[in-house]
Amino acid sequence: MVTWWTQQGLGLQLVVGVVALVIVAGLLWMLLSLVLLPLLAVLQRVLSSVENTTSMSTQDYLLGTLTLAVAPDHTGEVMVTGGGRARQTYPAKLWSGTHRPLEQGTKVVIIELTEGVAYVDEVAAHNQP
């Protein structure tokens, strides 16, 4: 067999080599598809319960700074500065019971986060004994 192979021309050897590579590549692709893709699907299901997010939950009370002023009937913007999280900005509205406007740069506590809107009140109002 080896002598027959060595007696063949270079063209035939190249064609057979390319066909062999295509077959090997196809077999590897099928192996990866049949083994690794189901394995990745299982890993995704197992790890999907692990939360990797920097957004705050609705139960967090975080500190922030107003980047835009907030008035009773107007929406401003707050930048989260507390809780060891990455800086994030949210639309801000006054928390119910707060009727005075808060100026830009005011330190606030984020009391509630609902549908992406942070409801805030001034930190000084919550630091009183």
CB 89 within 8 A of CB 76: no
- Give the pLDDT confidence of 50-76 residue by residue, as tens digits: 655 555 454 556 788 999 999 888 899
Pairwise CA distance, residues 85 & 56, whole Å? 8
Pairwise CA distance, residues 114 & 116, whole Å? 5
pLDDT reported for residue 93: 92
pLDDT reported for residue 49: 65
Token duo for residue 15: 């064609």
Residue with tokens 């050897």: 13
DSSP symbols for 58-119: TT--EEEEEEE-B-TTS-EEEEE--TTPPPEEEEEEEPTT--S-B-TT-EEEEEEEETTEEE
pLDDT reported for residue 21: 95
pLDDT reported for residue 100: 85
Query: What is the third-level CATH fold of 60-120?
Result: OB fold (Dihydrolipoamide Acetyltransferase, E2P) (2.40.50)
pLDDT reported for residue 84: 64
pLDDT reported for residue 58: 45
Residues of the chain with pLDDT under 50: 56, 58
CB 120 within 8 A of CB 92: yes
pLDDT reported for residue 128: 57
Computed over every residue of the chain, the mean pLDDT equals 80
pLDDT reported for residue 82: 61
